[in-house]
Structures are given as structure tokens and as C-alpha cells.
Amino acid sequence: MRNTSKMTTLENKFPLLAVEHGCIISKDADITVAFEVELPELYTVTGAEYEAIHGCWCKAVKVLPDFSVVHKQDWFIKERYKPELDKDGMSFLSRSFERHFNERPYLKHTCYLYLTKTTKERNRMQSNFSTLCRGHIIPKELNKETAAKFMEAAEQFERIINDSGFVRLRRLSTDEIVGTDGKAGLIERYFSLMPEGDATLQDIDLSAREMRIGDNRLCLHTLSDAEDLPGTVATDTRYEKLSTDRSDCRLSFASPVGLLLSCNHIYNQYVIIDNSEENLQKFEKSARNMQSLSRYSRSNSINREWIDRYLNEAHSYGLTSVRAHFNVMAWSDDAEGLKHIKNDVGSQLASMECVPRHNTIDCPTLYWAAMPGNAADFPAEESFHTFIEQAVCLFTEETN
């Protein structure tokens, strides 16, 4: 039967040009360095250690040049435990231990980090300029000096994180990104939503009702507005289920959408670095406009007060103005199961005191922007202004 829907091939829309020396180069001359992140184990980190980890992330982000994007991507995939019984020198107790957990379901966590250098124009593009919406993409030239400075900053970023002693970054090789004849690479696995093993090529359906990849239906919840966030954020939070009157069990602030969310999902975290001085000047101008219009509407006066508070914080403490965005992309091959997943994601976001927003309109463009190496394609209207310290509080900081 002939398909009457509008179709195109992945080759026509593919935004990446090449992978050279372990760097992903896009057709818009954006350069991305990819890392695998090793996080500390769940339930083993104290509140002071969470603060130390948070401080290291903040220091590392500050060394990156203007018009860079930090994209942290956490994969959580349901799997069954496979015992390792073929190891040499295993004792009877070790074998019994492995057999005890045979086929036990668990949530496998893999964390990646992508550092992208883009341009001022690309950083401010909206969703209607996404490479997904263009008829064709004309490759642009990469500035050698800009690329060299960014690579130096990326190395400093890696060194700062690794010196913390809590988090480890490992640079991904070209083969790990694009794959080999016998093993699928990171980009190929992303298109099939498979974290490891052989990935199969599947159709991607971007219909108005829902987005599908093969048999999997996607649902997307976003935190793309400051009004959706809680009044205060922190580096960590008390986990009541394992805490007592005498002892605290601490988890990262974003843990409810990490390992505590028991479904197949990807948690994307973006920190978009613009020119901080330009941002603050725009806010100064906006505050003056609000002041002149305050006599016509009380809301203008209230908005001016909020802008003034933001500017006072920035100037008083020397904070860097950035933009941020967070989303949870979950999927299921069962329509009924997807309804339960939507409710689970919404309730976990609500437990963080965030306003859960089920985003159906921007799902394709946000999925496209979350492709490894394509963070510069992120739609600007889906981000909100904040500071580095507050944005990093919404990073997941533990693994299993």
C-alpha cells in the first residue's frame, strides 16, 4: 500500500557532517566534544559531597567560551540482569550471588555529556529554523582559531571535573560515536532508542498527534519556563523513604526524574551560554521599558521588580547569566502503558514542586536537538534565563 504521508529520508535532514579526531562536526560548523560520565553510586553521597560536585560543575561550565552549549544526557533503560558466571576464580558464594539476581529487572543508567561550540546567530534560532524544517542544508566553514580555543576550554572542563574525585569524564572515540561494522555507534543507537548492542533502522513518524520511532510512542515533558520551576532549588534533597529521625538519606534535587522514575526515558539537561553582559544589558533596557509602562498596568510594575531582582543578584554576586532547559523524553510500545508513563513523569516532576508540562507540539524539534552533536539546533524559545548555579542544581548526580 502506498504511503500518502509527506516523507523524506534521514540523509536529507541529517544535520551532522563528519566525526574527526573524536569531535562531531555539524553542517552549520558547530563542533561538539562527547564524553561518557561516571557518576557516584546512589545512596552513597552526603549533602556536603553533593555541594562539592555542584561546585565543580559550576567551575567547569565557567571556563567555556560564549555561545557554547552544555548538554548532559542521561539514559535510563529497563533491562534484566545477566549473571557473569564465566569469570575465572569465582567462589561458590560468588556464583550463588550472581544466580540469585539472574533475570532480575532493573533500570540501566548511562550518562553522556556533549560540549558544543556554536555561533551567536545559531544560539538564538527558534524552532522554525531547525534543520528538521529546512529543505536542504548548506555546509559552512569552521574557523580554525575558534575551534582551537574551544578544544582547549573543553580540556580544562574535563580536567576540572576529573580532579573533583566524585565524577569522571571519559572522552568518546570516533568508533564509539559513529560505530563499526560489528557494533552500532552512539548516534545510530539514539535513532533507535537503544543504549547498547545492535541498533535497527526504524521509521520516525512526526505526526500531529504523537511522535513514533518504530513501535515506540514518545511523550515529552519540559521545564522551559522559569514559572514552571519551584521557588527554591538545591544541590540535594532529603529522601524520606530511607531517612529516619536520626539520619538523612540525601539524593540530588533531580533524582525523581532519574533513577526514581521506573520507565524507559532520557533526561536531557541544557545550559546555554550566551554573552552574559549583553543579556544583562537587555534586561536593563527591558526594566526601563517596564518602568515607563507601569502606570498602565500593575503587571508591568511587578515584572520590573522581578527583572531588578535578577539584575541585583547578577551584579551583587558576580553571577553569569545563562539560559537553561530540561526535558524528560519517555517512551513505550504500548498505548496503555504510555498513559501510565505520562502520569508517572508528571507526578515525579510535581514531587520536585515543578509544574509538569506535557509538550506535544515541540516533541520532534526537541528530539532532533537532543541528537548527539546537534545541541546547537536547540530552539531558543524553549529556554529560560537563570544563573549557572541554579541551572546545575537540576543535573542528576548519581547512578546505580
Give pLDDT tens digits for 120-134. Answer: 777 666 655 556 555
Query: How much is the pLDDT for 316?
Result: 86
pLDDT tops 50 at residue 230: yes
CA distances from 1 to 4, 5, 202, 203 (A): 9, 12, 18, 16
192 near 332, Cβ under 8 Å? no
pLDDT tops 60 at residue 228: yes
Q: What nine digits make up the cell of 299?
A: 503587571
In whole angstroms, what is the distance from residue 325 CA to residue 323 CA? 7
Query: How much is the pLDDT for 5?
Result: 56
Tell me the average pLDDT across 65-77: 94
In whole angstroms, what is the distance from residue 54 CA to residue 395 CA? 9
Query: How much is the pLDDT for 391?
Result: 94
Tell me the average pLDDT across 185-194: 86
Query: How much is the pLDDT for 87?
Result: 74
Q: How many CB atoms lie within 10 A of CB 105?
A: 9
- Phi/psi of residue 13, nearest 5 degrees: -100, -10
E-assigned strand segments in 62-150: 68-80, 105-117
In whole angstroms, what is the distance from residue 191 CA to residue 371 CA? 8
Share of the chain above pLDDT 70, in %: 92
Buried b (16+ CB within 10 A) or exposed e, 124-158: ebebebbbbeeeebeeeebeeeeeeebbebbeebb
259-273 pLDDT per residue, tens: 999 899 999 999 999
In whole angstroms, what is the distance from residue 39 CA to residue 398 CA? 5
Query: How much is the pLDDT for 3?
Result: 53
Amino acid in the structure at residue 180: T
Tell me the average pLDDT across 339-356: 93
Tell me the average pLDDT across 6-19: 78
Mean pLDDT value across the chain: 85
In whole angstroms, what is the distance from residue 62 CA to residue 278 CA? 16
Largest CA distance in the chain: 81
Counted residue by residue, the chain has a size of 400
Q: What nine digits make up the cell of 118?
A: 556554536
What secondary structure letter does DSSP report for 39?
P
In whole angstroms, what is the distance from residue 158 CA to residue 54 CA? 15
Select the highest-mean-pLDDT range: 128-132, 188-192, 260-264, 333-337. 260-264
Q: How many CB atoms lie within 10 A of CB 392?
A: 27
Greater confidence (114 vs 377) lies with 114
Query: How much is the pLDDT for 200?
Result: 73
Share of the chain above pLDDT 90, in %: 41
Query: How much is the pLDDT for 144?
Result: 83
- Closest residue by Cα to residue 176 from 203, 150, 153, 195: 195
Least confident stretch, 156-160, 190-194, 231-235, 270-274? 190-194
pLDDT tops 80 at residue 140: no
Least confident stretch, 27-31, 235-239, 299-303? 299-303
Dihedral (Cα; 213, 266, 24, 225), 10-degree rounding: 110
Query: How much is the pLDDT for 208?
Result: 64
Contacts of 234 (CB under 8 A, 6+ apart): 253, 393
Work out whether the CA dihedral 233, 258, 113, 379 comes out positive or negative.
negative
- Phi/psi of residue 210, nearest 5 degrees: -160, 165
Q: How buried is 7 (Cβ within 10 angstroms: 0-12 exposed, 13-18 middle, 19+ buried)?
A: exposed
- Phi/psi of residue 88, nearest 5 degrees: -75, 145
Q: What nine digits make up the cell of 348?
A: 515525579
pLDDT tops 70 at residue 138: no
Query: How much is the pLDDT for 1?
Result: 44
The neighbouring-strand residues paired with 109 are: 76
In whole angstroms, what is the distance from residue 251 CA to residue 237 CA? 6
Query: How much is the pLDDT for 57?
Result: 95
Work out whether the CA dihedral 122, 124, 130, 133 comes out positive or negative.
negative
Q: How many CB atoms lie within 10 A of CB 63?
A: 15
What secondary structure letter does DSSP report for 376?
G
**Helix (H) or strand (E) segment spanning residue 2:** none
pLDDT tops 90 at residue 183: no
Q: What nine digits make up the cell of 290?
A: 517596564
